[in-house]
Structure 1
């Protein structure tokens, strides 16, 4: 049943998640080794009482520290509530045409969710028989392209010159 004023979207369904105690789930970026000794030391001396206050909205201190670490201007650093939040902002900011946004049919499943939610036309582009992205498939009119490099979940890396070929086209 459709209700006027509500969007109908298919929710993202995460892959199977084993629940055993001695399992490291690489598909959710779990770390087999745990935090470094430096993290343990920092947490031991951290004043947890600081967590009672809401952080600044511009995250200026963090952005400046990352700017210095990465060697880029602070105004080129974006802070979000995880990668899905950043992806949401990117979809809203960059995909505003009637042309389809292109992304591989075997990639991170949330791209389709954001496209559906924001009414962005998209097309999932099939991978080759060897599960690789074929650059030629992306050299067409489009409203944007989303590529993860190396591709997730195949792990296949596309050399920079091939990515640049797609971007230039």
Structure 2
């Protein structure tokens, strides 16, 4: 849960609803604005988006017959068709929204507002408890295993659903497709949401092609499986705000009904055009994902040499414990040198730092600073 709270002594809340008064909103990653900043705290991609994204957006702006005075396609038909073709699905199995955060919020409202609880890891994306509080959902958090991994065997109790970030955040650890299949099979009347914000940086050891292994491959097998993804990480479009979900047509219809009860036009024309162009530029996408993976392995090796314990990451960040476990002190010392990493003041992980994969130059600056410390 976010640490953000309302100080009623300094804020006039007399016109607020009880719901607004009692919420503890999610606090996004810090976005400082300083010269010569080495920003490795919010898991943004170090590479720019495909050049075709800018070309597509410029084409929309240049087309006076289809200018911004008109509403966009409410269901983002072209984008959904491109995503469906990419994954070998039907468009009816694809949903898009204003960032994966909106898609997840709609999933919470559509599937988990029931008598039975929602199950989620106790250390994961910190927005999940916020959604649960917002929608009045009974969230039961399941402790990670001793090695900070998710153990599918711990999710056996009756529930309205299960949500797991895979790879998990902030650990970067990956749950196997076999375990996801186990969860979906064990709970046929509950919706299993697999939040794959970082899946494009993951690859299974048994996959000789080193391709990312996504639960999208299971949705035709299980009608209770919903897979969410985002354009913010692997496609370098965090500023465009586009997220998507893949699942049985019935699940997608529920999301659409919920969306149209809040905002029937969540994606503007520029976002739709830019995201579609990104999907169609597959070579650039694959190239930059591989570069991030290579940089991740290189940074892991450098930190290990310095005595850091680094968890095996499948994301565009690493979770590392300094040799002395003094993560807070290290984070503060790095900040004084203009290097921003993420520290979580939370039991079991307070001795770790989450470090976003940056450019080679950023990594060199980070390692040099750590050596100086």
Q: 1:40 to 1:58 in 2, by over 3 A?
A: closer
| TM-score when normalising by structure 1 | 0.85
Q: Which residue of 2 aligns with 1:31?
A: 45
2:30–2:41 contact (8 Å) kept in structure 1: no
CA positional deviation for 1:18: 4.2
Of structures 1 and 2, the one with the larger relative CO (CA 8 A, separation 6+) is: 2
Note if 1:120 corresponds to 2:134: no
Q: How does 1:43-54 map to 2 (within 5 A)?
A: 43-48=57-62, 50-54=67-71
**Aligned-pair distance for 1:162?**
1.3
In the TM superposition, residue 9 of structure 1 has moved relative to its aligned partner by 1.4
Q: What are the residue-to-residue correspondences of 1:81-160 with 2, within 5 Å? A: 81-160=98-177
1:45 Cα offset (Å): 4.3
Cα deviations by residue, 1:42-84 (Å, 9 ceiling, x for unpaired): 4454435633322121222322232223221111110111111
Q: Find the partner of 1:79 among 91, 96, 104.
A: 96
TM-score of the superposed pair, with normalisation by structure 2: 0.41
Q: C-alpha displacement at 1:28, in angstroms?
A: 3.2
Cα RMSD for the two superposed structures: 2.5
Q: Which runs of no fewer than 5 residues in structure 2 stay unpaired?
A: 1-7, 187-373
- 1:51-62 aligned at under 5 Å gives the runs 51-62=68-79
Give aligned pairs, total: 169
**Greater C-alpha radius of gyration:** 2
1 CA distance for matches of 2:109 and 2:56?
A: 36
CA distance in 1, matches of 2:170, 2:34: 22
For the 8 Å contact 1:104–1:124, the answer to whether it is kept is yes
Question: What's the secondary structure of 2:82's corresponding residue?
Answer: helix
Query: Are the structure 2 counterparts of residues 56 and 38 from structure 1 closer, same or farther at C-alpha, using a change threshold of 3 Å?
Result: closer
Do the aligned residues in 1 keep the contact of 2:119 with 2:141 (CA within 8 Å)?
A: yes
Structure with greater strand percent: 2
